[in-house]
Chains A and B, each alone.
Chain A
Amino acid sequence: MEIFWYIAVGIVLTVFFILDGYDFGAGIIHLFFAKKEEDKEVITKSAGLFWDSNEVWLVAAGGMLFMAFPTFYASVFSGFYLPLIIVLWLIIFRAIGLEFRGQFKYQMWKDIWDKSFGVSSLLLALFFGIALGNIVRGVNLGSVENGVSAHEGHYFFLPLWDSSFSPLTEHPGVIDWFTIIIGFIAVVTLTIHGANWVILKTNSSINSKLKSVIFKLNIALAVLTLFSLYVWQIVNPNSLDNFIHKPYLLVFPFIYIIGLVGLFFIKKIKKDSHAFVLSTLLILGGITSSLASLFPVILPSINNTHEDLTIYNTAASEYGLSVAMTWGIIGFILLFVYMIIQKRLMGGKIDHMDYGH
């Protein structure tokens, strides 16, 4: 039952990153590459039409995590207090940027909300990567100092950073050189994903330029990925064990590799939707590989006093999980039905769709 809910939460969270990922990415593209007003407007629209139905997946993931793994939810949300609240603020800034930009025709007004949308998209991508970095690195559960715990063994608190910026100290912060690298990977991945989205959904004048941007970013991503694999081993030496013992898990890194290799042929790919699928594979493969390397752990402990948080020691009761499975399956079917109806009705290029006026 724990495994069912682990997979369920994993799927919803991954769908969230794939869906909201493209509008974060569109924000980053908007920030760095959109110069003309028409392009800015249409890129904003390509995110603005979809962001709220995409963020519903975040709400669903949060709710399911709360229900199925309450101890994990409590531990992680209070332990990463500051970054999470900052993420909430950024989500708000992004949303108001998207919703308010088109309300008045003044240039200054548009400029303010353009920056709000772009910068918060960039920072959100960075923070989500950093969050993933923190999960795989692990934290000092129980805030142990010289063998003495300051809290119960499943609680901790991380400052934003520690002066050494090293993941290898006794008390690493949220931001250290390792998590920053993962953060950069997330930014590059989502930028590629967002560029594919813009190409797919709009006729903006920068579409052809974006293809070469994707190509260059993909080189950077390949380098960063290799480098991160190396440092990953330093930070979490057990990270390959699962793949060695259960070789079928290698399918997840393989998905990532397909996406990465495929995107080198971006200029040859005829159908825009194929390129979008490839960057979707990047996100899918990236998240699932990280989760698979940890399984069944969901938050490693970096001290020897307290054990890792796993899906087993943080789950709700057996009865609760099984009742929830009954309604959860119905809910899942509905979620995908809604998504399909919505995407079909809003398929195709969105340049001429009415929005925000």
Chain B
Amino acid sequence: MEDMIFYDRLQFAFTITFHYIFPQLTMGLSLMIVYFKWKFLRTKIDKYNNAAKFFMKIFAINFTMGVVTGIPMEFQFGTNWAKFSELTGGIIGQTLAMEGMFSFFLESSFLALFIFGEKLMGQKLHFLTGFLVFLGSWASGWFILATNAWMQHPVGYEILDNGKFVLENFSALFTNPWLLPAFLHNQMASVVTSAFVMSSIGAFYILRNKHSEYGKLFLKTGVVFGLISSVLVAFPTGDWNAKNVAKYQPGTFAAMEGIFETEEAGAEIVLIGQPNMVEKKLDNKIAVPNILSFLTYQEWHKQIPGMDQFDADELPDNIPALYYSYHIMVGLGTIFIGVMALALFFLWRKKLYNIKPLLWTIMFLVPFPYIANITGWYTAELGRQPYLVYGLLRTSDGISPTVSSGNTLFTLLGFVALYMLLGLLFLVLVGKTINEGPTPKTH
């Protein structure tokens, strides 16, 4: 039984982590493509149009990857989490089906038109298709977050005698207090990823002294989008989410912040330290007193319950992993704000394109927003444990009753092998596209 749960969780974690590499870029990038296309309509300068089309190529590769790794996500609800699907399908099936019907369809239909139909449609319609791709991809995020929000903070349901969750109020799924903060936080984080990818490509072109006109455009746009989104990720959206966790999942809040003991006179904020689960304390801790109470409740001396106030089975089952995920996300987010603020300062002083150390830094920072996004999701998902539906349905009660651990391990190994190949091909292809550059080929 333990094995079954472990492999099911591992397979889901692995496949969703790999999948989420792609949508986090496409959601943010679609916004930036719409911006370039809009700039082109306003100014009629070809550079902007070429930039839009270049990033749509990168978008398309990521979209394909997102589709082929996304279909397994939908299937796995049934294959590996059958009991969960059976009990909650009447509710989360709604939002998932709407995702497929409204947003995924929108995105994929108009992506094809954007790529193949520029000459056919004229510029205004071409802008519109780009906008619809953006709308589709963000709507997709909205429905997925609505699904996740229900699992984090279930609303609008009724539980029958046989344990089934039945929908009682459809609109409650979308007015869930968990949803809007989580959605905005997630979307801003995806803009961070795309802004860093764009700045990184820009820095690369400038440093290599090739396509450097585009390099400057990409870097400038990336830095502006990057700073705005990095700030918005932290405040107000991140702050808003943390307050929700404190309110609705207090045990999780204590665990992710690393508060082992309740402090009467207000909680400190932990910057660094390693959870020691045997002695129930943080080793090598560096913390600032009272800040957490202030950030969460705007009161310096407000008491925040520590992990000592909760039974072991009310707390997440992997506290160190949760604690690290959260702190890696927050730490990286802070670095992003710093780097982008510095870059914007030098951009304003018209020096950015010549400061090589900063360009190198921006170029090599590209993996980190991905890590921040993914550890952010780990924080949400590990934080919800040991439940699938917070407080109501345990993870151990959600797995498929008939699929043995041997079968799951077999498919997990298959996914690992296949996704390695996929990742390799993806890198080759994106590398090739970047290398060719945004300058249109002359036939």
- A82 partner, pick from B74, B75, B168, B407, beta carbons under 8 A: B407
Is the beta-carbon distance between B429 and A100 smaller than 8 angstroms? yes
Is the beta-carbon distance between B93 and A68 smaller than 8 angstroms? yes
Inter-chain contacts of A68 with B (CB < 8 A) = 93, 97
Is the beta-carbon distance between B106 and A88 smaller than 8 angstroms? no
Is the beta-carbon distance between B167 and A91 smaller than 8 angstroms? no
- A96 partner, pick from B101, B113, B422, beta carbons under 8 A: B422
With both beta carbons as reference points, the residue of chain A lying nearest to B417 in the complex is identified as A89
The interface bits of chain A over 214-257 (1 if a CB of B lies within 8 angstroms of the residue's CB, else 0) are: 00000000000000000000000000000000000000000000
- B167 partner, pick from A93, A143, A319, A328, beta carbons under 8 A: A319
Is the beta-carbon distance between B101 and A77 smaller than 8 angstroms? no
Question: Which residues in window 61-79 of A have CB below 8 A to B?
Answer: 62-64, 66-71, 73-79
B402 on interface, CB distance cutoff 8 Å:
yes
Inter-chain contacts of A332 with B (CB < 8 A) = 101
The interface bits of chain A over 303-337 (1 if a CB of B lies within 8 angstroms of the residue's CB, else 0) are: 00000000000001101100110011001101100
With both beta carbons as reference points, the residue of chain B lying nearest to A324 in the complex is identified as B94
- A74 partner, pick from B83, B113, B414, beta carbons under 8 A: B83
The interface bits of chain A over 341-352 (1 if a CB of B lies within 8 angstroms of the residue's CB, else 0) are: 110011000000
A26 on interface, CB distance cutoff 8 Å:
no
A162 on interface, CB distance cutoff 8 Å:
no
Give the distance to chain B from A157, nearest Cβ to Cβ, in Å.
4
Give the distance to chain B from A2, nearest Cβ to Cβ, in Å.
13
With both beta carbons as reference points, the residue of chain A lying nearest to B94 in the complex is identified as A67
B368 on interface, CB distance cutoff 8 Å:
no
Inter-chain contacts of A71 with B (CB < 8 A) = 86, 89
A277 on interface, CB distance cutoff 8 Å:
no
Inter-chain contacts of A324 with B (CB < 8 A) = 94, 97
Which listed segment binds B: A33-41, A52-60, A198-206, A266-274? A52-60
Is the beta-carbon distance between B86 and A319 smaller than 8 angstroms? no
A4 on interface, CB distance cutoff 8 Å:
no
Chain B CB within 10 Å, residue with most, of A66, A79, A156, A335: A66
A161 on interface, CB distance cutoff 8 Å:
no
A22 on interface, CB distance cutoff 8 Å:
no
Inter-chain contacts of A327 with B (CB < 8 A) = 98, 101-102
Is the beta-carbon distance between B94 and A320 smaller than 8 angstroms? yes
B401 on interface, CB distance cutoff 8 Å:
yes
With both beta carbons as reference points, the residue of chain B lying nearest to A318 in the complex is identified as B166
Question: Which residues in window 140-193 of B have CB below 8 A to A?
Answer: 166-168, 170
The interface bits of chain B over 72-83 (1 if a CB of A lies within 8 angstroms of the residue's CB, else 0) are: 101101111011
Is the beta-carbon distance between B116 and A335 smaller than 8 angstroms? no
Distance of A60 Cα from B99 Cα, bound (Å): 8
Q: How large is the interface on B (under 10, 10 to 19, 20 to 34, 35 or more residues)?
A: 35 or more
Is the beta-carbon distance between A85 and B71 smaller than 8 angstroms? no
Chain B CB within 10 Å, residue with most, of A69, A150, A320: A320
- B82 partner, pick from A69, A74, A88, A99, beta carbons under 8 A: A74
B236 on interface, CB distance cutoff 8 Å:
no
B309 on interface, CB distance cutoff 8 Å:
no
- B79 partner, pick from A60, A77, A89, A320, beta carbons under 8 A: A77
With A317-B166, A342-B113 as known contacts, state yes or no: A53 contacts B89, CB within 8 Å: no
Inter-chain contacts of B92 with A (CB < 8 A) = 66
Is the beta-carbon distance between A157 and B64 smaller than 8 angstroms? no
Is the beta-carbon distance between B71 and A67 smaller than 8 angstroms? no
Give the distance to chain B from A113, nearest Cβ to Cβ, in Å.
10
A353 on interface, CB distance cutoff 8 Å:
yes
Give the distance to chain B from A154, nearest Cβ to Cβ, in Å.
8
Secondary structure class of chain A's binding surface, majority of residues: helix
Inter-chain contacts of A62 with B (CB < 8 A) = 71, 74-75, 100
Distance of A38 Cα from B432 Cα, bound (Å): 24
B49 on interface, CB distance cutoff 8 Å:
no
- A53 partner, pick from B70, B78, B90, B109, beta carbons under 8 A: B109
Inter-chain contacts of B418 with A (CB < 8 A) = 89, 92-93
Is the beta-carbon distance between A85 and B414 smaller than 8 angstroms? yes
Distance of A48 Cα from B5 Cα, bound (Å): 38
B277 on interface, CB distance cutoff 8 Å:
no
Is the beta-carbon distance between A353 and B166 smaller than 8 angstroms? no
Inter-chain contacts of B168 with A (CB < 8 A) = 319
A265 on interface, CB distance cutoff 8 Å:
no
With A74-B86, A79-B402, A320-B167 as known contacts, state yes or no: A52 contacts B93, CB within 8 Å: no
Is the beta-carbon distance between A74 and B89 smaller than 8 angstroms? yes
B294 on interface, CB distance cutoff 8 Å:
no
With A73-B89, A81-B79, A152-B401 as known contacts, state yes or no: A323 contacts B422, CB within 8 Å: no
B240 on interface, CB distance cutoff 8 Å:
no
Inter-chain contacts of B87 with A (CB < 8 A) = 70
Is the beta-carbon distance between B78 and A74 smaller than 8 angstroms? yes
Question: Which residues in window 129-160 of A have CB below 8 A to B?
Answer: 143, 150-152, 154-157
B112 on interface, CB distance cutoff 8 Å:
yes
Give the distance to chain A from B376, nearest Cβ to Cβ, in Å.
25
A175 on interface, CB distance cutoff 8 Å:
no
Inter-chain contacts of B422 with A (CB < 8 A) = 92, 96
Is the beta-carbon distance between A89 and B90 smaller than 8 angstroms? no
**Chain A residues near B (Cβ < 8 Å):** 49, 52-53, 55-56, 58-60, 62-64, 66-71, 73-79, 81-82, 84-85, 88-89, 91-93, 95-96, 99-100, 103, 143, 150-152, 154-157, 316-317, 319-320, 323-324, 327-328, 331-332, 334-335, 338-339, 341-342, 345-346, 353-354
Q: Can you list 26 A-B contacts with CB-CB less than 8 angstroms, sorted by A residue number?
A: A56-B105, A60-B100, A63-B93, A67-B93, A70-B88, A71-B86, A73-B85, A74-B400, A75-B82, A81-B80, A84-B75, A84-B78, A89-B414, A103-B429, A317-B90, A319-B168, A324-B94, A327-B101, A328-B97, A334-B101, A338-B109, A339-B109, A341-B109, A345-B116, A346-B112, A353-B116
Q: A67-B89, A77-B85, A85-B414 are in contact. List 8 more A-B contacts (CB 8 A).
A: A64-B101, A73-B93, A74-B82, A81-B402, A92-B422, A323-B170, A334-B105, A346-B116
